[in-house]
Chain A
């Protein structure tokens, strides 16, 4: 019995002796108590929560060295390793988690479209429900500030830069021919269907060192990681048809999308100012394959399209008009892998290949070109801590361009160039606190064609002024090789460059956002040549220069009026440059001073309809009137367009969609073409460059077949 007593006492004593108290107080950075924080010894049941004074106390039977964890929403988890006997009257200061939604964001110059992005200005749906966009993601971006309306071109012109200065990337990998081929005075569109993408980031300046070969802007498109469900999409449109299908398996999925556009019936009904011999026809197919591995995701994206048309356009120098014929085939494939290497390292690797074949016939001149382009990139990210992230990467671009020219006088002249460019970049994100962050990076590039090395530093800073507003600053150097129009004739030039200075203010409240951005951009080493067009006879150099400065404003509100969502964009731009064959510094004809966009969408529940409008205003653009002295000496009248659209849900899976561009029929003039030679009176005759048609109508029926009987293609429109 004695033994038993001893044993009992021992057991009891063990219990009592094992009990030690852990207590203390938890405060935030402002020394205010944190209420409701969870405190516990890792791997045990022992713990408690803080009270209204931030105080906690609990007992534990654990002994020796233990890990004490303190966690609370929007704070970094605090870890303390030590002997439990020392965990008494401790005072812990929790640091704010810089990854929370209310933390400062490095966002100068950037517009994002996405669901949970901290700085989203557009929703993915906006890309396709903006009245003026006609399902083109480029069209939707043209309603954002910083862009210039160049209606006859259709591409993105950003802050005084020409269209070549914007580069487009799919899943981080460069797209070499992002726009559909077209000819003078017929706007181009984005080549890729918007519904394969779920994230769009449009940066109008000051972007990361990861992106190069773009003087003005980058547009980043991300394909969907994982489709939600299997479905078939059918679209029947006034201009053609589209068919899409998505299949899903346990770890992988495939989406296929094909479309055929033919403008012949439309042009038969609504003839335009061109004399079409073979109306615009385009067949395209896209596919995305995705596969999840244990620690990463593989994506393969492939697209092929073939376009052809032939037309006679009115021309002041040819009484019978200018005859133009085009055949274009474009193949693009892009593969990438992103995965986790360890707790702190992640890797991204990808490559793309483009093969573009274009045959043009301009009157008697035949031009055939083949462009082979390749891009590969490797990027590593090291999350050193929540407050310090490091990015390292290298990439390689290779372009092989060949052209063959034939006309009455010469036969089969071959020329072209081969450019290999290697680049490396390093960048760090540093969060000093929840209110102050830096991004600093450096990019180096070596071009084989110029045997030249460039080094581009980039810095940006963001400071939170109040819970809803922040101020950002950005500075950077950007280099870009001259385009194939130059390089095919001469490689004895070097890279062109810009320097950006940006200051941005952003106010972000519940479903309301206001942005104001001021910038100054300096251009240097721009290409100059003599003669009317670049040719073998031209002399090229890098003596060009220029500047662009301006103010951009953006306001969006989907809060104030129920079911109504609208945004306003205004850009003021002051730019001049001396490049190409300019005799002097002047405001280029693709840049104007004032641009305004107003876009609105209203959902009418009773009619199950969304109606939308988009109004665009652009002040006049410059042109040269040879009857007067000077260069780019006059301006066109301003541009106006109001577009309307209507999407009607017949049933959740069947949508009827109609839109009209330029509903009020404004007679817009994009510029003037003057005769090459003066008439008998010594005057140069002129012709106004008007759009092929003042208005455009579109009607479509879209049907989705899926298990859930609810998905629809509203987001494809």
Chain B
């Protein structure tokens, strides 16, 4: 009996081990990302995605890393490489999880990266796409704080471009901060970013 307990414990631990290799991988990837090894982190997320073919999260993060890196990139060649890679990853993620407001936010950010790079060229054609995505995302998931915050940040950017008042969007930011406070991600690995940046921008509102 004793043997049996030990054996089954061992077996379970082996099984658990197998189960947590996803968690271990994800934790390691987040660790790399935090320690500024973005390329390594992106590679690891992609590897996890190849092993977890029905999970959209590793694809989501690999795409997010590439999009984040492309903000501030001035070389069109490099920008285009990163963003087209991110687009492929988003396409794969969307194929796994349709009507996902988090992926829509990421897609909107990808378009925003092009607009930020060259507003005169891409602004007119991509702006309606960005707005369309946020509109759709907020219909699907009206209380997703990232949808509310990213839309507000985009609206403020546009208002600035057209020389208009950005104050009306501060209440949206405020609402997003409230939503962030109550937000519980589905698992520890589901998207849970944006609160700090939302708060940071909101502080400029009060000045």
Contacts and interface: CB of A to CB of B under 8 A. Distances in A.
B77 A42 contact: no
A558 B135 contact: no
A123 interface: yes
B167 interface: no
Contact of B76 (A45, A101, A605, A606): A101
Helix, strand, loop or mixed for chain B's interface?
A: helix
B51 A44 contact: yes
A118 to B, nearest CB: 10
B85 A73 contact: yes
B125 A124 contact: yes
B38 to A, nearest CB: 10
A229 B82 contact: no
Interface string B54-67: 00000000000000
B21 A45 contact: yes
B128 A45 contact: no
Interface string B97-137: 00000000000000000000010111011111101100100
A714 B80 CA distance: 26
B15 to A, nearest CB: 13
Interface stretch (B2-10, B177-185, B189-197, B199-207): B2-10
Interface string A598-611: 00000101101000
Interface residues of B, number: 41
A4 B131 contact: no
Contacts of A124: 125
B27 interface: no
A399 interface: no
Contacts of A7: 7, 10
A49 B81 contact: no
A511 B164 CA distance: 28
Given A73-B81, A229-B131, A608 B51 contact: no
Contacts of A116: 80
A608 B162 contact: yes
Interface size class of A (residues with CB under 8 A): 35 or more
A707 B135 contact: yes
Interface string A601-631: 0010110100000000000000000000000
Interface of A: 3-4, 7-8, 11, 36, 38, 40, 42-49, 69, 71, 73-74, 100-102, 115-116, 123-125, 198, 228-229, 510-511, 558, 563, 565, 603, 605-606, 608, 649, 651-652, 706-708, 710-711, 714-715
Given A47-B47, A48-B43, A228-B131, 15 more contacts: A4-B6, A43-B53, A45-B21, A45-B48, A47-B43, A49-B40, A73-B81, A73-B82, A115-B122, A115-B125, A228-B132, A603-B120, A651-B162, A711-B128, A714-B124
Interface of B: 3, 6-7, 10, 14, 21, 25, 39-40, 42-44, 46-48, 50-51, 53, 76-77, 80-82, 85, 118, 120-122, 124-129, 131-132, 135, 158, 162-164
28 contacts: A11-B10, A36-B40, A36-B43, A42-B50, A43-B50, A44-B51, A45-B21, A45-B51, A47-B43, A47-B47, A48-B43, A115-B125, A123-B121, A125-B125, A198-B125, A228-B129, A229-B128, A229-B132, A510-B76, A603-B120, A605-B163, A606-B163, A608-B162, A707-B135, A708-B128, A708-B132, A710-B128, A711-B127
